Structure 1
C-alpha cells in the first residue's frame, strides 16, 4: 500500500508539473519560406522571396487586429546570422518587416501614393471647377451692373426727351403728376444704384468706377410771352389820309365862303 501510494503521489506531482501553463508567449519551431524580398541591415545581404528557413513562430499575447491573432517569426541571415523578425499584417493582408532587415518592395506604399495622387487630382479638378464657377458669377455680376447702368441711362434720356418736347407742363395737375413720377424714378434709380453697388462690391469691383446717379432735372417749359397787338400799317395810313381829307374839305369850304 505504501508503495502504491508513493507511486500515485509521484504521478500526481508529475501531472501538476506538466499542467502548469507558461504565462509568456507560445513559441513553436516551424519551416517556412520568406514571404517577401528583404535586405539585411547588418551585412547588406539580400534575401529573396521563397528562401526556406527554420524559424521560430511566436504568438504574442494581446496583439490582435479585429480579433485576428498576429504572429511573429524569427529567422537568421544566411550570411551573418543576424536575427531578423517579421510579423503578419492582417490589415493589409501581408507581412510587415519588424527588425533586422528592410523590405525591398512594400505594395501598400504604392497604394497610399496612388490614393494621394488621386486625392490631389480630385482637389485640382475641384479647384478648377470652383475657379470656373467664380468667373461665371463675376461675369453675371458685371452683366447685372451693366444692365442697371443701361436702365439708368435710358431713363435719363427719356426724361431729357420729355423736357425738350413743347408740352406745357406748368399746370398744377401736370406738375403734381410729374412730381409723383419724379419721386418714383428717384426711388427706382437709388434702388438700382444700391443693387449695382452691392453686386460690384461682391465681385471685387471698385465702387468709384460707378458714380452715383445725378438727381433728375425737372424741365419746366415756360409759357411764351403774349405779343402786343400793333396797329396795321395800312389802317394808320388810312386814318392819316382821312384826317388830311377832312382838313382839306374844311379849307375848301372856307375858300368858297
Structure 2
C-alpha cells in the first residue's frame, strides 16, 4: 500500500528498456465503454422494447468503413431481458445511427415525412427540367402563394397593432385609475391627520370648550361698549382738568404783582393783619 504513493521507482544498474516487449494492439480491437441507447428499438429475440437513453455496458470497435475519412464505429450491447446481442453502428452521412443486428428500430413518423418530402422535391425538379411550361406554372403558383402569405402576414400585423393599441389604452386607463385612487387615499389621510391635530389642540388637559350662546355674545358686546364709554369719559375729564390748569397757569403769569403797601410808622391794625394772612393762603392754594 505504501508503494503506490512513492514518486520515484528503483531502477537496477543492468536495466535496459529496449528489452521490454512493446504491446501490439490490433486495429479492430474492442474497447469497453459506457453508453446510452441512441434510439428506441425492439429486440428481435424476445420482443423487449428498449427506450432511447437506456444505459448499457457496451463494446466499441472501429470498422473498415468510413465516410469522407470519418471512421464508422460499431457498438455491441445485450438485451436487458434475454441477453441477446444487439449491434448498431454510426451513420455520419445522415448524422444518425443504423440498427445492424439483433433489434429493429421503432417507427419514427418525422423521419418518414422527411424522406417523403425529399422524394417529392426530387421528382418535381426532374419534371421541371423536362417540361418548361410546367416549370413556369410552378413558379407562377409559387409567386401567388408568396403574395397570399404576405397579405396574411400584413393582416396579422394589423391585428397585432390594434391589439397592442387596445392594450396600451387599457394600461393607461389602469395607471390613471391607480393614480386617482392614490390621490384620494392621500387626501383622506391628510384630512384624518388634520382632524387628529385639531382634536389634540382643542382637547388640552382634559378641558372642554363650550360653544358661546347668542345672549353671551350680546352681553359681551354691551360690556365692551360700556368700558369704552367709561374710558372715553375719564379721558375727557382728565383732558378738561389739564386744560383748566393750563389756563389758570397762564392767567397767573399774566396777572400783575400786587403793589407794596406804603411803609408808615403806625402799627398795623388787627383787621389788616387778618386780610394779609388770608391773601397769602389763597395764593398758596392756587
Question: Shorter-chain TM-score category?
Answer: 0.3 to 0.5
TM (normalized to structure 2)? 0.37
TM (normalized to structure 1)? 0.41
* Larger gyration radius, structure 1 or structure 2: 2
